[in-house]
């Protein structure tokens, strides 16, 4: 078992996968599948690793905010609060969950390129630490909403820093033409508007160039743009910037070939870049640093468990798209049936990433965890889309209906993007620690799904 891909507590006993001291086959029997399992030790350990790494490399104050879009439920938000992290939210309901979990509102930032008026009102009424303003219209609306406030609402300005991250286009967010953030040329206009908005207080600048980042150079470049723009705000507009946030984005491996997730190296790259700006030569104080990891905190802590429903042998294609046949005649009578499908009871509705951008995963059979992987299979989801294939060419032991498939690194951008496609209820979620499994999200029921449906009378 590759330890960079499975939770810290993952072990194999008598052929069964164990997580958090619990036998996964027992959990599946008790709670059904699909089932999402989260290892509390891995979650807490990763949060602590972030705090320790930044404390080591940065002399100024650092705040670690968990980016809740990766996965949010009340229990995860409670762990975040207990570990002393802050939270980034992107909607009014995520903000509600933060409050329900007891997170100090001062440690909550609200993001989004299209926050509604109701969401902005809630953010302001609940005194959150900062609204991360995406565009000039939002700034205008927020300025109007906060007229007459006793305490000004803190804001960060999100910039589009014009940095092309080396990641999939769907998760790159830093280019000049990105839908996210103010173009650098609009910074002066934003500064002038802020100076004329007594209900708002500029705390600082933010940029997030994308997710699944492994290259230090683009992370350093982001910090450098933030420092340059902070100097511009001070020199041109007399605005002191006390906080800089280069977002989140540290990558994680999903397969054995991918590089490891290196929190230390990431913290070192971000923190040491913070010393490159003019503030040191000018004698300005070191800004507070806020980083927003999502995926790297929650991805490896989560494992998805599916039941194999059926298996199927099918005809493989050869390189040029023709059918693989004995005589290469291309007809189905002589086709070579060597493509093996495992059909499982979940798929793109609980994990959209493979269908959305070709994401790859690693899996094993939780009830035959030490059996040798002697075949290569495609794991097909149950949903009615040909693109609903969770894994392609996955090495696995021979599998049969009833076997349990465990997919690693399934914690981030899976359940948080889940849908009810084909009207299938969403999975249950358990938090595991020291042999105890706590239900933190019950399985959705048919009644839940039909509760919104209104019959014609």
Ligand X SMILES: Cc1ncc(COP(=O)(O)O)c(C=O)c1O
Question: Would you please indicate which residues are annotated as catalytic (active-site) residues?
Answer: 384
Could you give the CA distance from residue 206 to residue 279 in angstroms, rounded to a whole number?
Answer: 17
Nearer to ligand X (CB atom), residue 206 or residue 232? 206
Nearer to ligand X (CB atom), residue 28 or residue 410? 410
Q: Does 204 bind ligand X (CB under 6 A)?
A: no
- Is 453 exposed, middle or buried (CB count within 10 Å of its CB: 0-12, 13-18, 19+)? exposed
Q: Closest approach of Cβ 338 to ligand X, in Å?
A: 38
Annotate 43-71 with three-state secondary structure.
HHHHHHHHHHHHHHHCCCCEEEEEEHHHC
**Which CA distances in Å does 355 have to 19, 352, 395, 441?**
27, 6, 20, 25
**Which CA distances in Å does 331 have to 189, 202, 314, 315, 324?**
67, 69, 14, 11, 9
Q: Which of 294, 346, 354, 427 binds ligand X (CB under 6 A)?
A: 294
The token pair at 224 is: 């450098």
Could you give the CA distance from residue 148 to residue 154 in angstroms, rounded to a whole number?
Answer: 14
Q: Which of 129, 247, 381, 411 binds ligand X (CB under 6 A)?
A: 247
Q: Closest approach of Cβ 209 to ligand X, in Å?
A: 10
Q: Which of 295, 353, 382, 433 binds ligand X (CB under 6 A)?
A: 295
Q: Does 293 bind ligand X (CB under 6 A)?
A: yes
Q: Does 181 bind ligand X (CB under 6 A)?
A: no
Q: Closest approach of Cβ 25 to ligand X, in Å?
A: 31
Number of residue whose CB is nearest ligand X: 294
Q: Does 163 bind ligand X (CB under 6 A)?
A: no
**Which CA distances in Å does 180 have to 7, 11, 132, 192?**
33, 42, 11, 21
Q: Does 129 bind ligand X (CB under 6 A)?
A: no
The separation between CA 118 and the C-alpha centre of its own chain, rounded to angstroms, equals 25
Beta bridge partners of 257: none
Q: Which of 23, 40, 292, 388 binds ligand X (CB under 6 A)?
A: 292
User: How many residues make contact with ligand X (CB under 6 A)?
Assistant: 17
Phi and psi at 230, nearest 5°, equal: -65, -40
Q: Closest approach of Cβ 111 to ligand X, in Å?
A: 5
Half-sphere exposure (CA, 13 Å, Cβ side) for 243? Answer: 24
Q: Does 362 bind ligand X (CB under 6 A)?
A: no
Nearer to ligand X (CB atom), residue 48 or residue 392? 48
The separation between CA 326 and the C-alpha centre of its own chain, rounded to angstroms, equals 46
The interface region with ligand X, picked from 227-235, 248-256, 282-290, 441-449 by CB under 6 A, is 248-256
For the chain, the first-to-last Cα distance in angstroms comes to: 57
The token pair at 104 is: 């100090």
Q: Does 302 bind ligand X (CB under 6 A)?
A: no
Q: Does 174 bind ligand X (CB under 6 A)?
A: no
Nearer to ligand X (CB atom), residue 154 or residue 248? 248
Q: Does 67 bind ligand X (CB under 6 A)?
A: yes
Q: Which of 174, 204, 249, 302 binds ligand X (CB under 6 A)?
A: 249
Q: How many CB atoms lie within 10 A of CB 266?
A: 25
Nearer to ligand X (CB atom), residue 36 or residue 413? 413
Pattern 82-101, binding to ligand X, x per CB under 6 A? ------x-------------
Beta bridge partners of 133: 157
Chain position carrying tokens 């499908």 = 341
Report CA dihedral (52, 174, 216, 65) to the nearest 10 degrees.
0
8-state DSSP, 176:
T
Q: Closest approach of Cβ 169 to ligand X, in Å?
A: 13
The interface region with ligand X, picked from 17-25, 66-74, 100-108, 312-320 by CB under 6 A, is 66-74
Nearer to ligand X (CB atom), residue 38 or residue 306? 38
Could you give the CA distance from residue 317 to residue 322 in angstroms, rounded to a whole number?
Answer: 6
The interface region with ligand X, picked from 36-44, 266-274, 291-299, 334-342 by CB under 6 A, is 291-299
Nearer to ligand X (CB atom), residue 5 or residue 291? 291
Q: Closest approach of Cβ 126 to ligand X, in Å?
A: 20
The token pair at 257 is: 């070939």
Give the binding site for ligand X (CB under 6 A): 67, 69-70, 88, 111, 173, 208, 211, 247-250, 292-296
């Amino acid at each position: 078992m590759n330890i960079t891909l499975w939770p810290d507590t993952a072990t194999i006993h008598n052929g069964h996968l164990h997580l958090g001291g619990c036998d996964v086959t027992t959990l599946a029997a008790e709670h059904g599948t699909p089932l999402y399992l989260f290892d509390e030790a891995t979650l807490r350990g990763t949060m602590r690793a972030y705090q320790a790494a930044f404390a080591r490399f940065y002399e100024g104050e650092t705040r670690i905010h968990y980016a809740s879009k990766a996965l949010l439920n009340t229990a995860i938000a409670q762990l975040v609060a207990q570990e002393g992290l802050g939270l980034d939210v992107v909607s009014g309901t995520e903000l509600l969950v933060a409050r329900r979990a007891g997170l100090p509102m001062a440690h909550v930032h609200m993001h989004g390129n299209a926050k509604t008026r109701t969401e902005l009102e809630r953010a302001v009424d609940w005194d959150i630490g900062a609204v991360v303003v995406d565009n000039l219209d939002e700034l205008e609306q927020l300025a109007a909403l906060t007229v007459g406030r006793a305490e000004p609402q803190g804001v960060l300005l999100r910039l589009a820093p014009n940095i092309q991250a080396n990641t999939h286009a769907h998760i790159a967010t830093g280019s000049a033409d990105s839908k996210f953030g103010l173009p650098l040329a609009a910074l002066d206009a934003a500064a002038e508007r802020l100076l004329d908005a007594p209900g708002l207080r500029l705390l600082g600048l933010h940029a997030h160039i994308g997710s699944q980042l492994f290259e230090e150079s683009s992370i350093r470049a982001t910090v450098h743009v933030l420092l340059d723009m902070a100097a511009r705000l001070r020199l041109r507009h007399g605005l002191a910037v006390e906080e800089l946030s280069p977002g989140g984005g540290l990558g994680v491996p999903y397969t054995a070939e991918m590089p490891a997730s290196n929190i230390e190296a990431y913290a070192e790259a971000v923190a040491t870049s913070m010393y490159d700006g003019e503030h040191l030569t000018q004698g300005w104080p070191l800004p507070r640093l806020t980083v927003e990891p999502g995926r790297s905190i929650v991805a490896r802590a989560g494992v998805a468990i599916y039941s194999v429903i059926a298996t199927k042998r099918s005809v493989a294609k050869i390189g040029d798209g023709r059918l693989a046949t004995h005589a290469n005649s291309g007809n189905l009578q002589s086709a070579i049936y060597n493509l093996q499908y495992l059909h499982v009871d979940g798929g793109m509705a609980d994990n959209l990433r493979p269908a959305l951008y070709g994401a790859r995963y690693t899996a094993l059979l939780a009830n035959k965890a030490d059996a040798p992987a002697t075949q290569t299979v495609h794991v097909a989801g149950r949903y009615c889309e040909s693109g609903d294939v969770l894994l392609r060419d996955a090495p696995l032991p021979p599998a049969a209906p009833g076997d349990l498939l465990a997919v690693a690194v399934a914690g981030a951008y899976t359940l948080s993007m889940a849908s009810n496609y084909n009207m299938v209820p969403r999975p249950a979620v358990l938090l595991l620690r020291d042999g105890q499994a706590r239900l933190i999200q019950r399985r959705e029921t048919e009644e839940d799904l039909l509760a919104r449906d209104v019959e014609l009378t």
